[in-house]
Amino acid sequence: MSDHSVLPSEAALKIRAIQSLLSEKGFLSQDVTDTIVDYFETKVGPRNGAQVVAKAWRDADFKARLLENGREAVNELGFSGFEGATLHVLENTDEVHNVVVCTLCSCYPWPVLGLPPIWFKSPPYRSRVVIDPRGVLAEFGTEIPASKEIRVWDSNAEIRYFVLPQPPANSETLNEVELAALVTRDSMIGTRLL
Protein backbone atom coordinates (compact mmCIF):
# COMPACT_ATOMS: atom_id res chain seq x y z
CA MET A 1 0.00 0.00 0.00
CA SER A 2 1.45 3.37 -0.94
CA ASP A 3 1.56 6.34 1.36
CA HIS A 4 -0.60 8.99 -0.34
CA SER A 5 0.41 11.64 2.17
CA VAL A 6 3.90 11.84 0.67
CA LEU A 7 4.00 14.17 -2.32
CA PRO A 8 6.15 13.27 -5.34
CA SER A 9 9.20 15.44 -6.01
CA GLU A 10 8.86 18.55 -8.14
CA ALA A 11 10.68 16.79 -10.99
CA ALA A 12 8.32 13.79 -10.80
CA LEU A 13 5.32 16.11 -10.89
CA LYS A 14 6.68 17.92 -13.95
CA ILE A 15 7.31 14.61 -15.72
CA ARG A 16 3.77 13.44 -14.98
CA ALA A 17 2.33 16.75 -16.21
CA ILE A 18 4.29 16.57 -19.47
CA GLN A 19 3.34 12.92 -19.96
CA SER A 20 -0.34 13.70 -19.33
CA LEU A 21 -0.29 16.61 -21.77
CA LEU A 22 1.42 14.57 -24.50
CA SER A 23 -1.01 11.72 -23.94
CA GLU A 24 -4.03 14.05 -23.93
CA LYS A 25 -2.90 15.62 -27.24
CA GLY A 26 -2.44 12.16 -28.77
CA PHE A 27 1.34 12.46 -29.19
CA LEU A 28 2.26 9.76 -26.69
CA SER A 29 0.37 6.70 -25.48
CA GLN A 30 0.88 4.92 -22.16
CA ASP A 31 2.20 1.88 -24.06
CA VAL A 32 4.91 4.00 -25.67
CA THR A 33 5.80 5.54 -22.32
CA ASP A 34 5.99 2.09 -20.70
CA THR A 35 8.21 0.83 -23.52
CA ILE A 36 10.59 3.79 -23.18
CA VAL A 37 10.79 3.47 -19.41
CA ASP A 38 11.36 -0.30 -19.66
CA TYR A 39 14.12 0.28 -22.21
CA PHE A 40 16.06 2.63 -19.94
CA GLU A 41 15.40 0.62 -16.78
CA THR A 42 16.21 -2.86 -18.11
CA LYS A 43 17.95 -2.71 -21.49
CA VAL A 44 20.54 0.05 -21.12
CA GLY A 45 22.19 1.47 -18.09
CA PRO A 46 24.87 1.10 -15.47
CA ARG A 47 23.67 -2.39 -14.55
CA ASN A 48 24.76 -3.51 -18.00
CA GLY A 49 28.17 -1.96 -17.57
CA ALA A 50 28.52 -3.50 -14.11
CA GLN A 51 27.86 -6.93 -15.64
CA VAL A 52 30.56 -6.27 -18.24
CA VAL A 53 33.05 -5.27 -15.54
CA ALA A 54 32.25 -8.25 -13.30
CA LYS A 55 32.63 -10.68 -16.21
CA ALA A 56 35.99 -9.12 -17.14
CA TRP A 57 37.18 -9.49 -13.54
CA ARG A 58 36.28 -13.20 -13.54
CA ASP A 59 36.97 -14.24 -17.15
CA ALA A 60 40.45 -13.45 -18.48
CA ASP A 61 39.52 -14.41 -22.06
CA PHE A 62 36.51 -12.08 -22.02
CA LYS A 63 38.67 -9.30 -20.53
CA ALA A 64 41.20 -9.70 -23.35
CA ARG A 65 38.41 -9.48 -25.95
CA LEU A 66 36.93 -6.47 -24.13
CA LEU A 67 40.21 -4.58 -24.17
CA GLU A 68 40.80 -5.50 -27.83
CA ASN A 69 37.33 -4.62 -29.14
CA GLY A 70 34.89 -3.34 -26.54
CA ARG A 71 31.93 -3.13 -28.90
CA GLU A 72 32.17 -6.78 -29.96
CA ALA A 73 32.76 -7.99 -26.40
CA VAL A 74 29.75 -6.18 -24.93
CA ASN A 75 27.67 -7.44 -27.86
CA GLU A 76 28.48 -10.97 -26.60
CA LEU A 77 26.47 -10.07 -23.50
CA GLY A 78 23.60 -8.68 -25.58
CA PHE A 79 24.41 -4.99 -25.10
CA SER A 80 24.40 -3.16 -28.41
CA GLY A 81 23.35 0.16 -29.88
CA PHE A 82 26.53 2.11 -30.42
CA GLU A 83 25.33 3.24 -33.88
CA GLY A 84 28.69 3.22 -35.62
CA ALA A 85 30.79 4.27 -32.66
CA THR A 86 33.77 2.27 -31.45
CA LEU A 87 33.74 1.37 -27.76
CA HIS A 88 37.26 1.62 -26.37
CA VAL A 89 37.72 0.10 -22.91
CA LEU A 90 40.34 1.68 -20.63
CA GLU A 91 41.77 -0.48 -17.86
CA ASN A 92 42.67 1.14 -14.56
CA THR A 93 45.88 -0.30 -13.11
CA ASP A 94 48.22 0.33 -10.19
CA GLU A 95 50.08 2.80 -12.42
CA VAL A 96 47.25 4.50 -14.37
CA HIS A 97 43.82 5.87 -13.55
CA ASN A 98 41.55 6.71 -16.50
CA VAL A 99 38.74 9.26 -16.59
CA VAL A 100 36.34 10.02 -19.45
CA VAL A 101 34.95 13.32 -20.70
CA CYS A 102 33.34 14.64 -23.85
CA THR A 103 34.62 18.19 -24.22
CA LEU A 104 32.45 19.10 -27.23
CA CYS A 105 29.08 17.68 -26.26
CA SER A 106 28.08 14.61 -24.27
CA CYS A 107 29.06 11.52 -26.29
CA TYR A 108 28.50 8.63 -23.94
CA PRO A 109 28.20 4.81 -24.16
CA TRP A 110 24.46 4.58 -23.40
CA PRO A 111 24.11 0.78 -23.80
CA VAL A 112 26.51 0.13 -20.93
CA LEU A 113 26.11 3.27 -18.83
CA GLY A 114 22.55 4.45 -19.51
CA LEU A 115 21.72 8.13 -19.47
CA PRO A 116 24.66 10.46 -18.79
CA PRO A 117 24.63 12.22 -15.44
CA ILE A 118 23.93 15.96 -15.51
CA TRP A 119 27.46 16.81 -14.39
CA PHE A 120 28.96 14.86 -17.34
CA LYS A 121 27.32 17.34 -19.72
CA SER A 122 28.14 20.43 -17.67
CA PRO A 123 30.67 22.91 -19.09
CA PRO A 124 32.64 23.11 -15.82
CA TYR A 125 33.26 19.35 -15.75
CA ARG A 126 33.98 19.18 -19.47
CA SER A 127 36.63 21.90 -19.32
CA ARG A 128 38.10 21.44 -15.85
CA VAL A 129 38.68 17.68 -15.93
CA VAL A 130 41.04 18.21 -18.88
CA ILE A 131 42.97 21.00 -17.16
CA ASP A 132 42.99 19.69 -13.58
CA PRO A 133 41.86 16.05 -13.50
CA ARG A 134 43.34 15.37 -10.07
CA GLY A 135 41.51 18.38 -8.59
CA VAL A 136 38.19 17.45 -10.21
CA LEU A 137 38.50 13.85 -9.02
CA ALA A 138 39.19 15.12 -5.50
CA GLU A 139 35.90 17.04 -5.67
CA PHE A 140 34.20 13.70 -6.36
CA GLY A 141 35.93 12.31 -3.26
CA THR A 142 38.40 10.35 -5.35
CA GLU A 143 41.96 10.77 -4.16
CA ILE A 144 44.50 9.45 -6.65
CA PRO A 145 48.07 9.15 -5.33
CA ALA A 146 50.55 11.57 -6.89
CA SER A 147 52.59 8.57 -8.06
CA LYS A 148 49.71 7.36 -10.25
CA GLU A 149 49.27 8.82 -13.74
CA ILE A 150 45.82 10.16 -14.62
CA ARG A 151 44.79 9.89 -18.27
CA VAL A 152 41.83 11.87 -19.56
CA TRP A 153 40.03 10.45 -22.60
CA ASP A 154 37.80 12.64 -24.77
CA SER A 155 34.81 10.79 -26.24
CA ASN A 156 33.38 11.82 -29.59
CA ALA A 157 30.82 10.64 -32.15
CA GLU A 158 33.18 7.90 -33.43
CA ILE A 159 34.81 6.71 -30.20
CA ARG A 160 33.14 6.16 -26.85
CA TYR A 161 35.20 5.29 -23.77
CA PHE A 162 34.38 2.99 -20.87
CA VAL A 163 36.60 2.52 -17.81
CA LEU A 164 37.31 -0.97 -16.48
CA PRO A 165 37.93 -0.25 -12.78
CA GLN A 166 40.37 -2.26 -10.73
CA PRO A 167 38.69 -5.07 -8.81
CA PRO A 168 38.30 -4.49 -5.09
CA ALA A 169 40.80 -6.07 -2.72
CA ASN A 170 39.86 -9.49 -1.35
CA SER A 171 37.11 -10.04 -3.95
CA GLU A 172 38.40 -13.38 -5.25
CA THR A 173 35.59 -15.34 -3.60
CA LEU A 174 32.77 -13.16 -4.95
CA ASN A 175 30.75 -14.32 -7.96
CA GLU A 176 29.84 -12.09 -10.93
CA VAL A 177 26.50 -11.02 -9.44
CA GLU A 178 28.13 -9.99 -6.17
CA LEU A 179 30.91 -8.17 -8.02
CA ALA A 180 28.49 -6.35 -10.30
CA ALA A 181 26.70 -5.00 -7.23
CA LEU A 182 29.94 -3.21 -6.25
CA VAL A 183 30.41 -1.41 -9.58
CA THR A 184 29.05 2.12 -9.98
CA ARG A 185 28.37 4.23 -13.03
CA ASP A 186 30.92 6.78 -11.83
CA SER A 187 33.62 4.10 -11.51
CA MET A 188 33.03 3.23 -15.19
CA ILE A 189 33.49 6.92 -16.10
CA GLY A 190 36.53 7.12 -13.85
CA THR A 191 35.38 9.84 -11.46
CA ARG A 192 35.22 7.39 -8.58
CA LEU A 193 36.92 4.20 -7.59
CA LEU A 194 34.39 1.58 -6.43
List 102, 122, 147, 171, catalytic entry: 102
9 is catalytic: no
* Contact (Cβ atoms closer than 8 angstroms) between residue 70 and residue 88: yes
**Among this protein's residues, is 155 annotated catalytic?**
no
Which amino acid type is present at position 107? Answer: C
Q: Which letter does DSSP use for residue 164 in this model?
A: E
Cα gap 137→150, rounded to integer Å = 10
* Structural contact between residues 149 and 90, judged by C-beta atoms closer than 8 angstroms: no
The 10 Å Cβ neighbour count of residue 181 is 12
Residue 1, classed as helix, strand or coil, is: coil
Q: How many CA atoms lie within 13 A of 109 on its CB side?
A: 31
How far apart (Å, rounded) are the C-alpha atoms in residues 193 and 57?
A: 15
Catalytic residue among 29, 105, 122, 127: 105
d(CA 148, CA 168): 17
171 is known as an active-site residue: no
Q: Is 20 an annotated catalytic residue?
A: no
3-state helix, strand, coil in the chain (%, to 5): 45, 10, 40
Active site residues: 102, 105-107
